[in-house]
Amino acid sequence: MSFRFEDLQVWQKAIELDEQINQLTKKFPKDEVYVLTSQIKRAADSVVLNIAEGSTGQSKSVFKVFLSYSLRSAVEVVGCLFIGKKRGYIDDDLFRMLYTEYEILVRMITALKNSF
């Protein structure tokens, strides 16, 4: 048995990016463990989890609420990327790649939300 969210392209994209963020944070300094590392990982996880939670056994209007939470968390990840870049933890190329991928994800979430 599979859950509905597993078939959603937006969820697949979100979980792929979640793993990229997880790998990225392994390179952050130890003094960021309880600050930026924790914040960006929680935000990236939140994108994935809100899509999953909202998709299962919910009405379309409730799913839209969860997609809104997911959207805000995706934007929070981008904000954290800016902080990581400013602090010198993320180089320009990686920043641009992740920024672009999160732009795509935000458009996907928005399109799904607007499809109801």
Closest among 53, 59, 47, 57 to 110, alpha carbons compared: 47
Amino acid at site 70: S
With a cut of 90, say whether residue 58 has pLDDT above it. Answer: no
In whole angstroms, how large is the CA radius of gyration of the chain?
Answer: 14
CB of 105 within 8 A of CB of 15? no
pLDDT tens, position by position, 39-53:
999 999 999 999 999
Tell me the CATH class for 7-114. mainly alpha
Mean pLDDT value across residues 96-105: 98
The DSSP secondary-structure symbol of 46 reads: H
pLDDT tens, position by position, 59-91:
999 999 999 999 999 999 999 999 999 999 999
The pTM (predicted TM-score) of the whole model is: 0.96
With a cut of 90, say whether residue 1 has pLDDT above it. Answer: no
With a cut of 90, say whether residue 57 has pLDDT above it. Answer: no
